[in-house]
Every structure is written in C-alpha cells, then in structure tokens.
C-alpha cells in the first residue's frame, strides 16, 4: 500500500488562499471546522465525511466543499483511499467574488456537487495557482473566474442565517473563554461558569450549536495557534508547550488529524512561500 502524501502550497501573491494536493489511504480527519471555505475535486477514489448532520461520499470527478464554521470529518470511503485537490479560501476572497455577482457572503447547503464542468475548472485552476511560473495576473483572474462560476451555479441566494438566542450567546461566551485559555488546561466547570450554564447543559448546547464538543473546539484553537507559530523559528517542542499540547508528538498527531500534513511540512510551506511572478 502506498504511503499517504500531501503537498500544501500558500501562494504569497494571493492572500487568504491555501492549496492542498493529497493522496490519502490511511488518513482520517477528526471533526473540525474552518474559518473559511474549503472547495475541492476528487481525482481518484472516494472521500467519506459527515457534514451538516448527513453522511456524504464524494467520488472521483465530484466536487466536495464545506462552509465556514460547519463541523465535518473525513476518511477513506474504500480500501484505496482518495486523491484530491483542495482550495482553502478566506471569507474575504469569497465575499469579493460574490460581490461581482451583487451577492452577500454566500452559503452552500450541499457537501458534494455532481458538476463535471466545475470539477474540471477546480482542477485546472488548482494546477495553475500552484505553478510558480504562472504570473500573478493570470492567477488572480483564474481564481476569480472559478469562484464566480461556483457561486453563480450553486450558492443559496438567501445567505446563511446566524444562530440566535440565549443558548447561542452562552456558547459564544464559552468559546471566548476557551480562546482566552487555549494554552492552559481549562476545566469543564470553569468553561460552564463562563457560559452561565451547567456543565451538562453546556455540553449539550455546545454540540448542538457548533457540531463539536468544547474539547474538540479547544484542540482546534491549539492547532490554529500552532499554525501561526510555525511561521516563526521556535522549535516544535516549544510550540507544542506554548499551545497547550502535552509534547511534540501530541502536537504532530493532532495537527495532522486536522490539517492533513505534519507541522514540519507546514512550516516549510509558510517559510518558503511561492514567490510568484510580477
């Protein structure tokens, strides 16, 4: 069985964009969410994931996607795993593209799209955006054309409603507490007190509202902290300690489960970004 491989690219000329090209056979992603959008195409095999309270399978030639803040996981749908190309897009990039269509920040209710034309466009754009010999103007044009095509064909025109009510406010307080203490070892009682709910009530409404447990949210915060620190020269062991991980191996294991690459691989990407061409 071939080993898992993953290449992450961050073109410095296009802020708010990460590109992943990966082949996974053993990789499983823990439940997590993204601050931005994830849009990709399956090139080989099939990816299984749970998203928006439903089980999905994206097969070769299909498009897979998630929207900001919605929890999902990921695993092979068969023994041969899957190969895909993913674009990770900041909300600002998608908002700018939607503005060309006179729309607000778009929402997408599907996790898998059967749109061969869009799938081909994602693959072609991904290759172009990853190529350091392609000039900045061509990359910018390619990305905008892809995003407007995706939004025009598949976005929900009504936009994404926000979660309201006292329970959402309590969850927001819990999230704020966890952000402030992400590098510490917060107790459930402390998080519950900050939210104004009992521990049991908090666990239930936190999962209902965010799709993940407070502990999973804390792990994601720590991984995000590590992503930022990997742009510095701090040793991995020091980063693990500053972000609240037990040790470097703990950081590596959880980082890969959420990002699909090791911290060392990610560090090479952020410290050696695509120089692009003027």
Region 60-78: mean pLDDT is 95
Instruction: Render pLDDT for 188-197 as a digit per residue (tens, 0 to 9).
Output: 889 999 999 9
pLDDT of residue 157: 65
* Residue 57 predicted with pLDDT over 50: yes
* Residue 163 predicted with pLDDT over 90: no
| Helix runs in the chain, H state only | 91-100, 116-130, 136-154, 166-180, 188-195, 199-210, 214-229, 236-242, 248-259, 263-271
pLDDT of residue 162: 42
- The residue written with tokens 């009530």 in the block is 201
pLDDT of residue 273: 61
pTM of the shown model: 0.74
pLDDT of residue 248: 94
* Residue 204 predicted with pLDDT over 90: no
pLDDT of residue 165: 67
Q: Delimit the CATH 1.10.10.60 region(s) of the chain.
A: 166-271
Characterize the bridge pairing of strands 63-66 and 37-51: antiparallel
Architecture of domain 5-154: Sandwich (2.60)
Q: Which superfamily does 166-271 belong to? A: Homeodomain-like (1.10.10.60)
Instruction: Render pLDDT for 101-116 as a digit per residue (tens, 0 to 9).
Output: 878 888 899 999 999 9
Task: Name the CA radius of gyration of the chain, rounded.
Answer: 19
* Residue 186 predicted with pLDDT over 50: yes
pLDDT of residue 58: 98
Separation of alpha carbons 221 and 66, rounded Å: 19
Average pLDDT value over all residues in the chain: 89
Q: Delimit the CATH 2.60.120.280 region(s) of the chain.
A: 5-154
pLDDT of residue 51: 94
Percentage of the chain modeled with pLDDT above 90? 66
pLDDT classification of 147: cutoffs 50, 70, 90: very high
pLDDT classification of 87: cutoffs 50, 70, 90: very high
């Amino acid at each position: 069985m071939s080993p898992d491989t993953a290449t992450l690219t961050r073109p410095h000329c296009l802020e708010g964009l990460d590109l992943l090209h990966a082949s996974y056979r053993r990789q499983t992603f823990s439940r997590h969410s993204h601050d931005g959008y994830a849009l990709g195409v399956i090139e080989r095999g099939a990816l299984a994931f749970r998203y928006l309270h439903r089980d999905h399978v994206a097969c070769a030639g299909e498009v897979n996607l998630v929207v900001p803040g919605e929890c999902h996981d990921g695993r092979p749908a068969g023994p041969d795993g899957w190969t895909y190309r993913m674009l990770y897009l900041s909300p600002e990039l998608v908002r700018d593209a939607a503005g060309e269509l006179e729309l607000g920040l778009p929402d997408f209710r599907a996790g898998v799209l059967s749109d061969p034309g869009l799938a081909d466009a994602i693959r072609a754009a991904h290759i172009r955006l990853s190529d350091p010999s392609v000039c900045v103007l061509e990359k910018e044009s390619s990305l905008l054309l892809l995003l407007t095509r995706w939004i025009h064909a598949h976005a929900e025109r009504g936009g994404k409603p926000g979660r309201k009510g006292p329970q959402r406010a309590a969850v927001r307080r819990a999230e704020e507490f966890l952000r402030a203490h992400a590098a510490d070892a917060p107790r459930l009682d402390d998080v519950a007190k900050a939210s104004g709910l009992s521990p049991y009530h908090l666990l239930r409404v936190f999962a209902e509202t965010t799709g993940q447990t407070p502990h999973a949210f804390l792990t994601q915060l720590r991984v995000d902290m590590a992503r930022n620190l990997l742009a510095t020269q701090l040793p991995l062991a020091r980063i693990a300690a500053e972000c609240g991980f037990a040790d470097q191996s703990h950081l590596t294991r959880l980082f890969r489960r959420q990002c699909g690459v090791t911290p060392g691989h990610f560090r090479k990407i952020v410290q050696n970004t695509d120089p692009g061409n003027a």
